[in-house]
Structure 1
Amino acid sequence: MDTHKDIERLSTQAERYRRCFFPTTNAERKATYVRLKHGELVRPHRNVYARSDYWTALDVVEQARHVIRTLAEQFPHRIFAGLSAASMLHLDHGWHLHAGDPVFITTTGSAHLRNAYHKLHRIYMYDPDVREIRSILRDDGTISMRLTDVDAVLDSGLIGMVRITSPARTLVDCALRYSFVDVLPMFDAALRRGLTRLEDVLDICDGLRVDCGPVMRALHYADSASENGGESACRAVILDGGFVKPKLQQVFVDPRNEMVQYRVDFLWQLADGKSVVLEYDGMRKYVDLSMTKGRDIRQVVQDERARESVLRDAGVTTILRTDYEEVKQRHPLYCKLEEAGVLKTGMRLLV
């Protein structure tokens, strides 16, 4: 199909600004509809369009951000909340939460409207604490994202703005909607990046007339030492299984060369003096700056053997490994921990 100059212009500018486009004239609407029917365009949300090849190259979370930025362009005063705010804040979470392409906004009216658009979900808030995520076009043509207060001085080069609930309120809303395994990565990420404090989350809960038990549990176990969402989800599954909370990112030093140090994902120190290490997804964190990248498989194997040798020399008794599939299934991971002697909550542990 021949290109349409207006659609080409709209889509090109939208892609540059990391959002989708929307037609504003009858001619643009007609051209958009024709290209949608022919598969050249996709419509992920009402009156939100993107080129098919561009859209499919984005991951699920970035697709959600594109939709949110577009809706913010259409409705500047709309405040995005819950999972939508978490996505804009780049809080770690599983892609499965985006099934059905939900978009969450705040409302001061009813959260349940008849004949409401099925992808748009409302969360009631009387007077939400609001932040703005501003898209700034730099001189070199790149775009930076900046989290600011609503009354902050406007930035030069501003090309877009998304209003969201505060990080603390976002965590509360997500914890009240999703499982512990789903939200612990969000809490860890928010603390790790200094987006909020535990006290801020507690203040939000104090003002709500709902059971904030799920929020309290996430707060209790949240840990800024967790390095990524995968490790956070793995830890949440471990805690869900009733196992004692592990120590995170503990450093072990080679007794023969103190310059060689290795960090481990999870560590349990048992009452009998044994130490159990669990590594998630085969990710290796070398503290020793002399380690090089781009190693071949043989070198990786050799490095892994050397790493295990150092850990054992440093006092580690058992080294376990797990991955995404085991964490998802849970039972294989639980069996490994039980066989290694990792205790359940309530059993005596030497801390």
Structure 2
Amino acid sequence: MTIRLDDVSRDRYGLIRRTAALKAGLSDDQLGYALAAKSLVRLTPGVFMVPQAADVARTEQGKDEYYRLACIAGATSTRAGEAPLSHHSAAAMHRLPLLRPDRGTVHVIRGGRGGSSLRGGRYRHAGGVPADDVVEVDGIAVTSLRRTAIDVAAMGNFAQALTVVDAVLRRGVTREELLDALAGRKFEGIRVARRAVEHGNPLAESVGESWSRAQMIDAELPLPILQRHYLLEGHTQIPDFDWDGVLVGEFDGRVKYRGLLRPGETPHDAVIREKEREDRFRRAGIEVLRWTWAMLERGELIPILITWLPKLGIAIG
């Protein structure tokens, strides 16, 4: 059976609605066949999308976009009501980078009385949201950046909380606004959220950098300066982390070199350029330490720093 999805109109988000499919002459049986053939993906009852290319779907960006569309589908379905998206769903709409986000649930704050509930992949959080903490993103009502950051921070561990706080500080939310959002809140995770706000830094440029710093804070190690500027041999160098001008640290993300590519440059060219940059630091008497996402997952960064810092005259403990 051939299903002509090209004849079905998409909405403003690129999604296919059951009503539009039926209007285009498709039946529910044909939609079911398209789902079974994996030429359609159901996001929520009555809302579908054409699946992403496999190489895109496997990336973090692809997973984030799929979840974002699922949140949009949930918010615009006939069952959605007027509850704003919140927590990880609001973060997805704001395109906030998170550490190990929950992409399996659509979160809303429903207001009114009663407790929270989880049904059909939709988590309805009890409580209300002040009007000034509800904003519109792409036509969808979501919690504000500051409210979203506090809600996400309170749901996770310290590293996850610090990551989202760093992200909204980069976006212009102030520490005072975050503290205001915390004021008077009584919920599980309040201490984690408050600690993240205290340590948040808008100069952290990625999830990996935030996670690195969270591990350093938990280990009570001397904290580095972030994004310190150096002029070395006529080149401006800005390392991710700097300890007293004797050690710089660089987090190498999984797509680091692809992200660094200049026009006409290959990944090999970028590696060579990074090597030359590293050599300039060493000729200036500054040691360079690199680590990866895998090292963070295995807990290897802190033992390495505990070895390196004292050797370079930086007291720990």
Same fold? TM cut 0.5: yes
Q: Which moved more, 1:48-57 or 1:35-44?
A: 48-57
Shift of 1:327: 0.9
- Contact preservation (8 Å) 2:226, 2:239: yes
Shift of 1:120: 0.5
- Contact preservation (8 Å) 2:110, 2:127: yes
Counterpart selection for 2:237 from 262, 267, 270: 262
The Cα offsets for residues 1-38 of structure 1, whole Å up to 9 and x where unpaired, read as 2224xx5444x524xx3343331359643332232233
The Cα offsets for residues 252-293 of structure 1, whole Å up to 9 and x where unpaired, read as 212xx4x31211111112xxxx72211111758xxxxxx965
Q: Does 1:133 pair with 2:127?
A: no
Q: Which moved more, 1:41-50 or 1:244-253?
A: 41-50
C-alpha separation in 2, matches of 1:36 and 1:30: 10
- Contact preservation (8 Å) 1:176, 1:214: yes
- Contact preservation (8 Å) 2:161, 2:193: no
C-alpha separation in 2, matches of 1:8 and 1:302: 46
C-alpha separation in 2, matches of 1:88 and 1:8: 27
C-alpha separation in 1, matches of 2:266 and 2:144: 45
The Cα offsets for residues 194-214 of structure 1, whole Å up to 9 and x where unpaired, read as 1x2222221121131236211
Q: Which moved more, 1:57-66 or 1:237-246?
A: 237-246
Code of the residue aligned with 2:33 in structure 1: it is V
Number of equivalenced pairs: 296
Code of the residue aligned with 1:262 in structure 2: it is Q
Match of residue 84 from structure 2: 79
CA separation of 1:228 and 1:45: change in aligned 2, threshold 3 A = same
CA separation of 1:200 and 1:338: change in aligned 2, threshold 3 A = same
What stretches of structure 1 move > 6 A for 4+ residues in a row? none
Match of residue 22 from structure 1: 17
Match of residue 32 from structure 1: 31
Match of residue 101 from structure 2: 97
Match of residue 93 from structure 2: 88
The Cα offsets for residues 170-207 of structure 1, whole Å up to 9 and x where unpaired, read as 1111011011212322211211121x222222112113
C-alpha separation in 1, matches of 2:235 and 2:309: 28
The Cα offsets for residues 204-260 of structure 1, whole Å up to 9 and x where unpaired, read as 211312362111111111111112222122222222233222110111212xx4x31
Larger fraction in helix:
2
Match of residue 329 from structure 1: 298
Match of residue 119 from structure 1: 121
Counterpart selection for 1:65 from 58, 65, 68: 68
Code of the residue aligned with 2:127 in structure 1: it is M
Q: Which moved more, 1:239-248 or 1:26-35?
A: 26-35
Match of residue 211 from structure 2: 233
List aligned pairs for 1:167-316, cutoff 5 A: 167-194=145-172, 196-210=173-187, 212-254=190-232, 257=233, 259-269=234-244, 275-281=246-252, 283=256, 294-295=264-265, 299-300=269-270, 302-316=272-286
Gaps of 5+ in 2: none
Secondary structure (helix, strand or coil) at the match of 1:319 reads strand
C-alpha separation in 1, matches of 2:105 and 2:296: 26
Gaps of 5+ in 1: 135-160, 285-290
| Percent of aligned pairs sharing the same letter | 24
Code of the residue aligned with 1:64 in structure 2: it is Y
Secondary structure (helix, strand or coil) at the match of 2:18 reads coil
CA separation of 1:214 and 1:37: change in aligned 2, threshold 3 A = same
Q: Does 1:107 pair with 2:85?
A: no
- Contact preservation (8 Å) 2:204, 2:210: yes
- Contact preservation (8 Å) 1:253, 1:314: no
Code of the residue aligned with 1:323 in structure 2: it is T
CA separation of 1:302 and 1:31: change in aligned 2, threshold 3 A = closer
C-alpha separation in 2, matches of 1:303 and 1:127: 49
Code of the residue aligned with 2:215 in structure 1: it is V
Code of the residue aligned with 2:10 in structure 1: it is Q
Match of residue 46 from structure 1: 45
CA separation of 1:71 and 1:217: change in aligned 2, threshold 3 A = same
CA separation of 1:39 and 1:275: change in aligned 2, threshold 3 A = same
Secondary structure (helix, strand or coil) at the match of 1:250 reads coil
TM-score normalized by structure 1? 0.74
Shift of 1:310: 2.1
Higher RCO (Cα < 8 Å, 6 or more apart)? 1
Shift of 1:49: 1.7
Code of the residue aligned with 1:125 in structure 2: it is G
TM-score normalized by structure 2? 0.82
